[in-house]
Amino acid sequence: MRAFVRTVDRLSDLLAVVAAVLLVAASIVITYSVVYRALGNSTYWEIEFSVYMMVASLFLASPYTLKTRGHVGVDLLSHYLPQRSRRTLATIVAVVGLLVCAYLAFLGGELTWESLLRGERTESTWAPYKWPLFLMMPVGLGLTALQYVAELVRAPEPESLAHD
């Protein structure tokens, strides 16, 4: 099981790097667009491209965010619980998160498949296909569900159960 957890953690780390590269690409394209338009020129693809990159980075960074506990969480209840109850609550929350991510990944997969079959495109002048954008949802949330499995398998660390 340690190999599974290590593999999922490494995949999450890799996807975080990919997400960061996508955000940098989006930033560069937006900067280019502002300068290009300030010079009196017109473009038609950069905003949509940047949106695609930002959405992809959001979903691809999700497993890493879970792994590093970078998500926003309300721990008021668990703060006042005994350690054993905290562990139980954390397990329940992880199982619910796993189920939600798996369900949304399934729905995102259906959406992606239908879009691919229909050949759906955006309504812009550039008109890229929509399915690559939709694909980020099942990939990102599916891998986040996998990270939840790794979190459930991972032995609880004392500092993750203790609260300041």
Q: Distance (Å, rounded) from C-alpha 85 to C-alpha 121?
A: 50
N-term to C-term CA, the chain: 30
Kindly list the domain boundaries of the chain, sorted by start residue: 2-161
Instruction: Name all contacts of 69-73 with Cβ < 8 Å and 24+ positions apart.
Output: 69/160
Residue 121, phi then psi, degrees to nearest 5:
-130, 160
Encoded tokens for 113 = 């498949």
Which amino acid belongs to residue 1?
M
Q: What's the pLDDT tens digit per position in 10-35? A: 999 999 999 999 999 999 999 999 99
What value, to the nearest 5°, has the Cα angle with vertex 61 and ends 56 and 62? 105
pTM, to two decimals: 0.85
Strand partners, 121: 129
Q: What's the pLDDT tens digit per position in 100-109? A: 999 999 999 9
Q: Distance (Å, rounded) from C-alpha 53 to C-alpha 73?
A: 26
